[in-house]
Structure 1
Amino acid sequence: MADRLVPVLVAVGGFFGATSRYAVGLLVAGSAGTLAVNVAGSFVLAAVIGVVRSSRLRLFLATGLLSSFTTYSTFAVETATRAPLPAFANVGATYALGFAAAFAGLEVGRRYA
């Protein structure tokens, strides 16, 4: 039998992730806000993978909260609407900082697991 709580956990996590993303957008407008949430989300997701063992908590945090907090679609649209040089800079910064944050999050996860 499927765990009936899973959709609720994902939905509640999604609510908190989306509202948090909106709040960051109010504080840090434009592509800087998108970069901030994507880098922070990469770090936290990697740490969650290393630390959290509960499948329910992982679904709440990773699938619900963090997938709603981070935003690839906004990144793609912001990048596609820029001139080539700023677009390439945005892609480079997003991927370089995102991977660095993920590696740092994995290290934190290993240390606290």
Structure 2
Amino acid sequence: MPFVVTESCVACKHTDCVDVCPMDCFVEGPNFVAIDPEGCIDCSVCVPECPVDAIVNATDVTEAQRPYIALNAQFARDPAWRPITSRKPPLPDHARWQAVSPKRHLIELP
């Protein structure tokens, strides 16, 4: 089962995870990154790189995180969500949003 990016990433968009992905399976929108479940090889190297613990195995998601399985797959197929293979700075106000929940409604579409 692939890994998924969950709510903690919304409005923070730390991208430390993309630097270590051997399959380059991350895509980015304006304020969120997602993992392409078709490309993810379940290696888990991205998990410890996320400073907000946003990446989890799809088999371990909580009920609140469950919608992110479908969202990651949806965004990975959307051509407006572009591949990202190298780290960028987090969003300028990421610290403000880190502990906010719920945030799914804040995901911006390209």
**TM-score, normalised on structure 2?**
0.24
* Bigger Rg, which one: 1
Normalised TM-score (structure 1): 0.24
Q: Which has the higher strand share?
A: 2
The structure richer in helix per residue is: 1
